Amino acid sequence: MTTDWRGAWTAALDELEMDVATIEAMLADEHRHAETPPADIWKPPTELGALPLELKPRADEILTRQLAAAEEIARRLTANRQQTAMTARIETGEAVKRPVYLDCAM
């Protein structure tokens, strides 16, 4: 039973680590389409019980990578919003669109 329990946790961490690696690869590739989400979003397994003590360093390392990826995503979202606000203020050189005539009959 201990082998099954340890194996289940190892498999869960393998899956989680692959998910983090996918996000890290997306962040590293500037040309990847952001509209394409990862195909398999990681879902935590149920009924695994406590994490085996020898797997804690690996779980901590994965958590550190997840937090770094989340910070990078937040930083990029903020930069994107700032860039969008900045480009909204840029004049395009087009004439301001104004009504051609005013209908006073109303």
CA distance 12 to 62: 12
Q: Render each residue's pLDDT in the chain as its tens digit; 106 residues.
A: 567 888 888 988 998 898 888 888 888 876 665 566 666 777 777 888 888 899 999 999 999 999 999 999 899 889 888 888 888 777 666 666 666 676 777 6
Residue in this structure with the two tokens 């962040």, named with its chain if needed = 27
pTM over 0.75: no
Q: What is the pLDDT of residue 58?
A: 92
Q: At what angle do helices 2-28 and 56-89 cross, to 10 degrees?
A: 20
